[in-house]
Amino acid sequence: MPKKGMYCSLPTKDGIQLKMRRYTPAGGDVAKNPVILFHGMLANKHSLDFGDPENDRTLWERYSLAAYLSRGGDDGMAFDVWVPELRGRRSFHSFSCEYPDMPEPPVWCVDDYIEKDVPAIIQKVQETYARERKEKDSNSPVKVFWVGMSMGGMLAYAYGENKRGSRNLMGVVTIGSPISFKHTGSFLIELASRILAPRRISVTINLGKFLNNHKKIKNEFMENIVSKSTIDKDVMEEYITLGFDNDISSKVLSQFAVFFRHNNFCRYPRRPWAYDILDRIPLVKRRIGPHSYTEELHAFETPLLALAGGKDREAPPQEVKYAVGHVGSRDITYREFPDYGHLDFHLGMRAREEVYSLIHRWLSKRTTIVSPE
């Protein structure tokens, strides 16, 4: 059994206080490399750590990937698991801190996740390990495993394309993470482009409250995001209430709308209107276009496990395969689950047996046991 989750806080370079929960394994074989679980665009910690060991134990026992990995999966290799939340999330209700959770006004975007939140999270994990193990060599900090759901996997590609990121990553697991957007489902495009992401203003969006107040849209959302054959409706209802109870900047959705329009995972354009108009002119595009993570995928060389769902309309297999075919990694594994929708990977009735066990085996093969002190 892992010890009860321990909380910690960590400030980003712009003074935003992020929160993170840690599950430390107790007994058995303990993996050398920690695992960090990154949630998706509209979600929070419940994305890969559904429920709570103290309050929602039934959900946590069945659906939490953090619980599964920290307990040693099926073969006894237990991982030290960290579950952070990016700015604007608030599922750690009982954990207060003196700094704000989000900037005012709410103008952050995906770039802030990549450049501010992710480095702070990984640095906190590495510094904790160095202190606990009394390691003095700061030039070779412990490498971490990254498991990312949807946008959480996209962030891994962006982070791993630079040399610093590459040095810090032991391996990456992406779950339904697109890197191109030619085949992305129409519902998410509509959500990002029209319903919730006006370009001229920046406001906070709470998807959970929005869906619960708009039943027709909620039903359409559920039709598009999961496969009815693999998921319990009551579990999905609970997840909408818990997992989407966040304050998300509409600029995040606006940036995703840029991804969809231009088929490009990129930084937020300095002049988005000009980018929309002139993007089709190659010579002009090179001058005004933002940095493209899609075009730099070849620089990502970390071992990769990429998971895709055959019925996933938000990250169709074609989009996941694009990433697999363009990264510079030599150690690549691709697995497709034919009847999975976007959220079936962590809410589906077979997720524990089919997905969690696969992730655990892949991680276990790429780490070693911590030597006893």
Beta bridge partners of 36: 82, 146
Residue 281: exposed, middle, or buried by beta-carbon count in 10 A (0-12, 13-18, 19+)?
exposed
What's the alpha-carbon Rg for the chain, to the nearest Å? 20
Tokens of 197: 């992401």
Question: Which positions ≥6 away from 318 have C-beta within 8 Å?
Answer: 182, 183
Phi/psi at 4 (5° precision): -55, 150
Contact 21, 6 (CB under 8 A): yes
Q: φ and ψ at 66, to 5 degrees?
A: -60, -45
Fold of 6-179+293-364: Rossmann fold (3.40.50)
Cis peptide, bond prior to residue 198, ω within 30 of zero: no
Quote the tokens at residue 151: 């946008």
10 Å Cβ neighbour count for 93? 7
pLDDT for the residue 122: 97
Q: Please say whether the beta carbons of 156 and 348 come within 8 A.
A: no
Q: Which two tokens stand for residue 58?
A: 């039934």
Task: Tell which phi-psi region holds residue 211, choosing left (phi > 0), alpha (psi between -120 and 50) or beta.
Answer: alpha
- Secondary structure letter of residue 266 according to DSSP: B
- Beta partners for residue 172, in sequence order: 146, 304
Which pTM does this prediction carry?
A: 0.92
Q: For residue 159, which amino acid is it?
A: Y
Query: Mean pLDDT across the chain, nearest whole number?
Result: 87
* Number of other CB atoms surrounding residue 27 within 10 Å: 10
315's tokens:
């990250």
Domain boundaries, the chain: 6-179+293-364, 186-288
> Tell me, what's the pLDDT at 283?
66
Helix (H) or strand (E) holding 283: helix 282-288
Residues 247/166, Cβ–Cβ less than 8 Å: no
Is the CB of residue 77 less than 8 Å from the CB of residue 31?
A: yes
By the 10 Å C-beta count (0-12 exposed, 13-18 middle, 19+ buried), 68 is classed as buried
**How many whole angstroms separate alpha carbon 343 and alpha carbon 124?**
29
Note the pLDDT of residue 351.
94
Return d(Cα 340, Cα 310) in angstroms, integer. Answer: 6
Tell me which amino acid residue 282 is. Answer: P
- In the chain, which stretches have pLDDT less than 50? 1-2, 195-198
> Of all helices (H) and strands (E), which one includes residue 68?
helix 65-70
